[in-house]
Amino acid sequence: MLKRLAVVLVAGAFLVATSARGDEVRAAIDALNAKMVADFAAGDAKALAQAYTEDALMLPPDATRIVGQSAIEALWKSWIDAGIKNLTLKSTDVDSSGDLAYEVGEFTLEASFGRNPSTNGSNTTADRTSGNYLVIWKRGADGVWRLKVHTWN
């Protein structure tokens, strides 16, 4: 009986530690997402690219893969320059094992397209877009989580 109790206590302690670790990873990813949203609002493509590993991979839908921080910076800059704004990120699922984690989430953004005919062509029309994303995060030797693989639809 004492042996069973010891096994149950050890298993329970492991589950609590695993849950606390998961909460810690989730909090770190939520904070990094908030920083990315702020960096995007500020138009800082360089800061956005630094959220990725040096050899990160972006897999845009129906497009060529983007590899590395400099190419990722150029992509973010092209979106900023195109007038895309009001990015939001919302994690719906985060799980981790060691120095890797995955995140599933939802995003929204706003893009301006052409002239708005209802205002005599003086304003652009805004289109709100939403979708889902999947990210694989990797914790570096410095303890910071960075995006390793990023795809969305």
**pLDDT recorded at residue 12:** 43
pLDDT tens-digit map of 1-26: 555 544 444 444 443 444 457 799 99
CB 33 within 8 A of CB 91: yes
pTM greater than the 0.85 cutoff: no
Give residue limits of the domains in the chain: 2-152
Query: Domain 2-152 belongs to what topology?
Result: Nuclear Transport Factor 2; Chain: A, (3.10.450)
**pLDDT, the chain, mean:** 86
Find the mean pLDDT for residues 50-79: 97
pLDDT for the residue 103: 98
> Hey, what's the torsion of the CAs at 39, 43, 46, 52, to 10 degrees?
50
